[in-house]
Amino acid sequence: MTLSEGKTGASYIVEDVTVDQRISRRLEALGLNDGTQIQLLNQKRNKGAFIIMVRGTRLALGRKIADGITVREAS
C-alpha cells in the first residue's frame, strides 16, 4: 500500500520510494530510506499534506510524494 492509503497514528516500514530522483535523494538525506520505520501523524485531506515522524523528525509531504512511497504495517 502507499503512504497516502495509511491510517493516522499507525506505524509503517518503508518498502520502496518511487518519486522523482531529485526528491528521492532529498528524502534519503532526511532519513526516509527503504526499511525505515515511520509513523503517520496527521493527514490534511483538503490540501493533501501528510505529516510523518521519521527518526525523531517531523516531515510534511505532499500527496504526490506520499503516493510514491510504498509501505507495510510495522508489527
Measured distance between the N- and C-terminal CA atoms of the chain, rounded to whole angstroms:
15
Contact 60, 66 (CB under 8 A): no
Question: What does the pLDDT read at residue 48?
Answer: 77
Question: What does the pLDDT read at residue 45?
Answer: 74
Residue type, 66: A
Question: For 5-17, what is each residue's pLDDT tens digit?
Answer: 999 999 999 999 9
Question: For 37-62, what is each residue's pLDDT tens digit?
Answer: 999 999 887 667 999 999 999 999 99
* Cα 9 from Cα 50, distance rounded (Å): 12
Burial class (CB in 10 A: 0-12, 13-18, 19+), 12: buried
Confidence of residue 73 (pLDDT cuts 50, 70, 90): very high
Query: Which residues of 1-75 form beta strands (DSSP E)?
Result: 11-17, 37-44, 49-54, 57-61, 69-73
